[in-house]
Structure formats: structure tokens, C-alpha cells
Amino acid sequence: MDVSLGYPDAEGDYSDTRYFENVPVTDTSYFSMNTRKEQWVELKQDGDGDGVFEKSYSAKFNSSAVDSGERTRNMLLIVLAVLLAVWLGLHIFNACRRYRRSRFCSQCGAEVKSSQNFCAKCGAPVQKIPLVDFGIIGYPKEKKGFKITKIVFTCIFGLTAVAGILLYRSPACTVYRQLMDSQYQSAERIYENAVRDTLVNEKYFDILSDVYLMRVEQAEEQGTISEAEAQEAYDAAAGLTD
Ligand SMILES: [Zn+2]
């Protein structure tokens, strides 16, 4: 299947077209597309009709679509590369500081050589500071309490991130996003297949539907959507939970 989506400019020319080419289609395929003009327009595919979009293609300004999974992986790689660079940078910076510190006596401040065991001036033992210690950034005197706090915060951060991803990817949230994109049929199908009569998702969607109604109300007040569009949005939300 080939799909293209064009956006007319002020002169009425289709100056921005997004192409989705050779998208595989099966008898049970459902598609959903966010048609709002955004940096990335996304075509989502539910191949087996179970209400979960397994595949997604995204296309930017005047371009052919790429596999969204690949796009996410590429972005993750970039983030990882940046993190690695920061981590390495910190260690190099730290090694320089350690090197400078290791050249002077910690007692009297006289210059010492790394081959000396004792300071020639005051006789204090020369501290052997390893230049690189991949376990700790900073000097090797880290308080135990601080370490535990660090571990606890890392765990909390990790769990929050995982919970966030799970909540975002849940069918209830997918229905919410479909409603926000005015994809009412698709929202209804996913609701019937994956949210209705489920313990957690149904409750979660109750909360999300309140948020949705609030946002529709807001958009209506601000005049970004017409009264008729708002009514359609209200009806769609009410129709789901009937
Ligand atoms: Zn000394």
C-alpha cells in the first residue's frame, strides 16, 4: 500500500508531502494516522486487529517514511553516545585533577615525584592516587551514606521511567491519544478490544477520559476547535464508555 499526505501552503500548492510507501497490508490490518501537520507524521499499523499498534512509520517534511522503531533506536543510540561522551569527559577531567594533586605533598605542599614514597621536605608519606577509578567520579573518599542515597535515587528514577513507559504504551493511553488525534473509530475499536472489561486499563481510562474532556473544554473556550467539533469529541468519549 502506498499512502501520501500533502499539506497545502498559503498559495494552495502542496509544498509538503509525506510518503508512506510499500506498507504491508493484511486482511486484519487497521491503520491510524495523525494528519495534523507536525514535524513527524505517523502512520500506525495494527496488523492483527487486537487493538495494539505493532508497527509505525514516520515521515517528516517532504520525505518518505522510515520505520519508527528504527528512528527510536537511532535516537537512543545518540543519547547513549552523548552520555558516554559526558562520562568519559568527566573521567578525563577527574584524571587531570588527580594528576595535579598527586604531584604535591598533601602535608606541606612541596613538589613530589610519583617514584618517591616519602616527601623529601617533611617526610610525610606520598599519597598514591590512581589516575583513573571507573567506580567513582571525584576523590576516592566517598561517604557510605551518600553512595546509598545515590543508589536509591537511581532506582527510583529507573522505576519511574519504566512505569511511565508502561503507562504511555498501555491500551488505555493509546485510546486517549487516538481521541486527541480525532481518530474516533480507531479509539472505539481499541477500547472494545483492549480496554473494556479489563481491571486496570478500564480504571486508568476513566482518569484519562476526564483529562480528555477537560482538554476539549479548554480547546473550545480558547476557540481552537469549533462547537460542533467539541460536541463530536464529547460524543465520541461518551460513546466509548456506554
Ligand atoms: Zn611534605
> What pLDDT shows up at residue 97?
83
Under DSSP, is residue 82 helix (H, G, I), strand (E, B) or coil? helix
> What pLDDT shows up at residue 176?
93
Ordered by start, the domain boundaries in the chain are 1-64, 71-142, 143-242
Pseudo-torsion of CA 202, 208, 210, 212, nearest 10°? -130
Q: Which residues contact 215 (CB under 8 A, 6 or more apart)?
A: 180
Least confident of 22-31, 127-136, 164-173: 127-136
Distance (Å, rounded) from C-alpha 26 to C-alpha 163?
A: 33
Residue with cell 519511574: 160
- How close is the Cα of 110 to the center of ligand 1, in Å? 5
pLDDT in tens, 76-126: 999 999 999 999 998 888 888 888 888 888 889 888 887 888 888 998 888
Distance (Å, rounded) from C-alpha 102 to C-alpha 189?
A: 68
Q: Given pLDDT bands bounded at 50, 70 and 90, which one contains residue 137?
A: low
> What pLDDT shows up at residue 84?
94
The residues whose Cβ lies within 5 A of ligand 1, an ion, are 105, 107-108, 110, 119, 121-122, 124
